[in-house]
């Protein structure tokens, strides 16, 4: 019995295509004898496409992507400050549009300090937690506006929208993660200042906590959470938080665990109504694009998340183990992008 | 000619009174022969006062405080989760009310790694920057609300409000700081997602930058800024940012430069229409209150900021130097609160 998985590939801009190429090698290698065939469709989307055609993400593209079983994305975004991209906002028009349209309400971002990975902390201890970041609400909804733009009387507003429906579903997902891990969940918000947005998060976490008496629950203000991420990251198991705080905490967590070159993520629709999308946390880094300087590890670990999401947990574990072994042997090597990919494939086949 | 400064003291809750006591010792010692007399009025405000009287900050208290030349605050806030404080919100009702009512539009937070201070980074390098955090706008304005609270149909919103008036004045202050320092200014925001709030900040920084051709200006998304704070904090000189991002970045910066026990701040009304307020960045830490375990250094460095604000720059520099010398000699001593204050006073008098 062979299974076919329809995979949409969005290599994107900058280093995106380079790291996706390595991720594909790894995916192909690990699924070679698995009985699962990946049918890949490539979508040319991002700043480069916008500059050619003026399209960010057309309805046709969106519909075509939505017809797949899963998505692997590299990175999107042009050179910062490029005047031709001034009115584009590739992030909102492409990346966030995909997350919102495909109802990726869980943005899952694991942080682990792998033995051998160079980190900035003097005494990092053991670090192994996941951030469950909400993906479809909060300050990211785009409910903002401005009047008298460009004048001394401009007023610019942004509204964070938080619903019981939206908060509860991601909080439930986070508790499920905690049940499968070390049974500890930390809500991060800023309830003392954002009393309404914070209030709904606090209330729903308390309610769902009552159904999980075996999970230890605590709460941290976002400012305090950043302190603990550098002074005691080992205290975290599962962090659940809103879209903006999750954005901030996961970049910091990436830095603390050896750099954003290792940080993978899944934009997940757990209901399966839409395809989930896997991508490295890093951006398109146009300054080093095309030079084989990018680390493909985050993209490769995103493949591990993708495999796990598809129920291919053995294959996922094999990829993670191969990456771990590679990191442990890495040193300060500065190998080219393709060489890192090849080394990881080599370990898979060994 | 003797000058009288009317100083409002708000020791507050938890460790607040302990650290303010040491700050007062230092203030008294350094101004003993300066010809400046501090006339102090004590205000009993905070969670303890609320529990006694039900008052958070009455109009009378506010008017009385506003009639002073400056304010020194310890920390306010009760034991987290205390059910009797459930409806109080001391932070919004007292601390933020003071900042907003007294138009503290600059929240000035210096971050410096003092020789001898223990930090979490393996290779911190030289760290010496200031965060100019906006204090009267952004997501802190309290323009939020919720409907159907406590039901599965709750919707909770928070609106960030940003005005050209409010952004321009704090950006001008930040450029003045940069002119007096290493002439580098970094705007931190999230312009790719919060396009309206981010847009007004970007535009105004660009406009004011044109008047300061000698200041090098760059921009970072808030998530990227947290990465640099742990991987390359030495790159920063002046950071200007909004109220919420400033809250997050300064706690992280405090952690990176040896802990929140050293981080001082000024809530400043540069126009002088209202008294400015100086306070340690740390909170009331009720768990260690009354045990002489708190580090009074942040409160003492807040006195240095206060003295500088009052034009007593020699006295300010003497306090800073005494603190620096104390930190350099400190080791892992774990001295009681009062002993640290006494040691710093001793250095001032030596
Ligand atoms: C590019 C940007 C819109 C995005 C975000 O803010 O979510 C990125 O920072 C991320 O974390 O995936
Ligand atoms: C106590 C809280 C309201 C306050 C803030 O968020 O501004 C504190 O975190 C700070 O940074 O001074």
Residues in contact with A216: Cβ distance below 8 Å, sequence separation at least 6, in sequence order: A183, A184, A185
Q: What's the CA angle centered on A174, arms A170 and A178, to 5 degrees?
A: 170
- Residue A230's alpha-carbon distances to A118, B74, B78, B108, B247, in angstroms, are 15, 25, 26, 23, 16
Q: What's the CA angle centered on A263, arms A16 and A270, to 5 degrees?
A: 90
Cβ contact A190–B224 (<8 Å): no
Cβ contact A154–B168 (<8 Å): no
Cβ contact B251–A223 (<8 Å): yes
Name the closest-CA residue to atom 5, ligand 1. Answer: A247
Active site residue A218: no
A196 CB neighbours in chain B (<8 A) are 144-146, 156-158
- The pTM of the full predicted model, rounded to 2 decimals, is 0.97
Burial per residue of A226-238, b for 16 or more beta-carbon CB atoms within 10 angstroms, e otherwise? bbbbbbebeebbb
Helix B243-256 vs helix B222-231: angle between axes, to the nearest 10 degrees? 10
Cβ contact B196–A146 (<8 Å): yes
Active site residue A247: yes
Exposed / middle / buried, residue A2 (Cβ in 10 Å: 0-12, 13-18, 19+): exposed
Look at residue A6 and give its three-state secondary structure.
Answer: strand
Q: Is the CB of residue B83 less than 8 Å away from at least one CB of chain A?
A: no
Asked if the model's pLDDT at residue B36 lies above 70, the reply is yes
> A235-290 pLDDT, tens per residue?
999 999 999 999 999 999 999 999 889 999 999 999 999 999 999 999 999 999 99
Asked if the model's pLDDT at residue B32 lies above 90, the reply is yes
Domain spanning A120-127+162-256: which CATH class is it, in words?
Answer: alpha beta
CA distance A229 to chain B (A): 9
Active site residue B247: yes
> What is residue B81's predicted lDDT score, i.e. its pLDDT?
83
Pocket probe for ligand 2: among A189, A191, A193, A221, the residue whose CB has the most ligand atoms within 8 Å is: A193
Domain covering B120-128+158-256 in this structure, CATH number: 3.40.50.2300
Ligand 1 atom index nearest CA of B223:
9
> What is residue A331's predicted lDDT score, i.e. its pLDDT?
76
Asked if the model's pLDDT at residue B87 lies above 90, the reply is no
Q: How far apart are CA B277 and CA B269, in angstroms?
A: 9
Give CATH superfamily name and number for B1-109+260-350.
Isopropylmalate Dehydrogenase (3.40.718.10)
Asked if the model's pLDDT at residue B332 lies above 90, the reply is no
Domain spanning A1-110+258-350: which CATH class is it, in words?
Answer: alpha beta
Nearest to A160 by CA among A206, A118, A199, A128: A199
With residue B113 as reference, give the H or E element that holds it. Answer: none
Q: Among B153, B160, B168, whose Cβ lies nearest the Cβ of A158?
A: B160
Cβ contact A195–B89 (<8 Å): yes
Active site residue A308: no
Q: How far apart are CA A13 and CA A141, in angstroms?
A: 24
Exposed / middle / buried, residue A1 (Cβ in 10 Å: 0-12, 13-18, 19+): exposed
Residue A227: CB within 6 Å of ligand 2? no
Asked if the model's pLDDT at residue B1 lies above 70, the reply is no
> What is residue A230's predicted lDDT score, i.e. its pLDDT?
98
- Residue A46's alpha-carbon distances to A14, A268, A291, B40, in angstroms, are 10, 21, 19, 61
- Residue A272's alpha-carbon distances to A61, A70, B55, B114, B142, in angstroms, are 20, 10, 52, 53, 37
Cβ contact A161–B160 (<8 Å): no
Can you give the residue ranges of every domain in chain B? Answer: 1-109+260-350, 120-128+158-256
Exactly one of B140, B242, B308, B326 is catalytic; name it. B140
Look at residue A266 and give its three-state secondary structure.
Answer: strand
> B236-275 pLDDT, tens per residue?
999 999 999 999 999 999 999 998 899 999 999 999 999 9
> What is residue A1's predicted lDDT score, i.e. its pLDDT?
58
Q: Is the CB of residue B147 less than 8 Å away from at least one CB of chain A?
A: no
Mean pLDDT of chain B: 96
A152 CB neighbours in chain B (<8 A) are 164-165, 168
CA distance A106 to chain B (A): 18
Exactly one of A55, A176, A251, A342 is catalytic; name it. A251
Q: Is the CB of residue A155 less than 8 Å away from at least one CB of chain B?
A: yes
> B179-227 pLDDT, tens per residue?
999 999 999 999 999 999 999 999 999 999 999 999 999 999 999 999 9
Q: What are the pLDDT tens digits along chain A (350 aa)?
A: 589 999 999 999 999 999 999 999 999 999 998 899 999 999 999 999 999 999 999 999 999 999 999 999 999 999 988 999 988 889 999 999 999 999 999 999 999 999 999 899 999 999 999 999 999 999 999 999 999 999 999 999 999 999 999 999 999 999 999 999 999 999 999 999 999 999 999 999 999 999 999 999 999 999 999 999 999 999 999 999 999 999 999 999 999 999 889 999 999 999 999 999 999 999 999 999 999 999 999 999 999 999 999 999 999 999 999 999 999 998 767 899 999 999 999 999 98
Q: How far apart are CA A263 and CA A253, in angstroms?
A: 9
Q: Which residue out of A197, A226, A253 would a mutagenesis test of the B interface target, given it has the greatest number of B Cβ atoms within 10 Å?
A: A226
Nearest to A231 by CA among B222, B289, B252, B296: B252
- Rg of chain A over CA atoms, in angstroms? 20
A133 labeled part of a ligand binding site = yes
With residue B160 as reference, give the H or E element that holds it. Answer: strand B155-163
The end-to-end CA distance of chain A, in Å, is 26
CA of B248 to the centre of ligand 2 (A): 9
């Amino acid at each position: 019995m062979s299974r076919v998985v329809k995979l949409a590939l969005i290599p994107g801009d900058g280093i995106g295509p380079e790291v996706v190429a390595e991720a594909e090698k790894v995916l192909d290698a690990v699924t070679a004898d698995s009985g699962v065939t990946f049918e890949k469709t490539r979508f040319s989307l991002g700043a480069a496409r916008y500059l050619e055609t003026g399209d960010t993400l057309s309805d046709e593209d969106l519909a075509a992507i939505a017809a797949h079983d899963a998505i692997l994305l590299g990175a999107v975004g042009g050179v910062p400050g490029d005047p031709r991209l001034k009115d584009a906002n590739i992030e909102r028009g492409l990346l966030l549009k995909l997350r919102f349209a495909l109802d990726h309400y869980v943005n899952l971002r694991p942080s682990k300090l792998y033995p051998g990975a160079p980190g900035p902390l003097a005494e990092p201890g053991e670090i192994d937690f996941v951030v469950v970041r909400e993906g479809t609400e909060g300050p990211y909804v785009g409910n903002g506006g401005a009047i008298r733009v460009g004048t001394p009387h401009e007023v610019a507003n942004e509204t964070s929208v938080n619903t019981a429906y939206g908060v509860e579903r991601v909080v439930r997902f986070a508790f499920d993660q905690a049940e499968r891990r070390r049974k500890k969940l930390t809500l991060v918000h800023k309830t003392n200042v954002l009393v309404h947005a914070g209030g709904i998060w606090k209330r729903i976490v308390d309610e769902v906590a009552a159904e999980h008496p075996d999970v230890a629950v605590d709460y941290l203000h976002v400012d305090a959470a950043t302190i603990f991420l550098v002074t005691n990251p080992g205290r975290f198991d599962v962090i659940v938080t809103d879209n903006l705080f999750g954005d901030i905490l996961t970049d910091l967590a990436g830095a603390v665990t050896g750099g954003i070159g290792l940080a993978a993520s899944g934009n997940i629709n757990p209901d399966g109504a839409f395809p989930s999308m896997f991508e490295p946390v890093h951006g398109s880094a146009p300054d080093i694009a095309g030079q084989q300087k990018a680390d493909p590890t985050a993209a490769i670990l995103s493949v591990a998340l993708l495999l796990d999401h598809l129920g291919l947990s053995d294959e996922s574990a094999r990829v993670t183990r191969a990456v771990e072994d590679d990191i442990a042997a890495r040193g300060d090597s500065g190998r080219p992008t393709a060489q890192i990919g090849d080394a990881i494939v080599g370990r898979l086949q060994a």
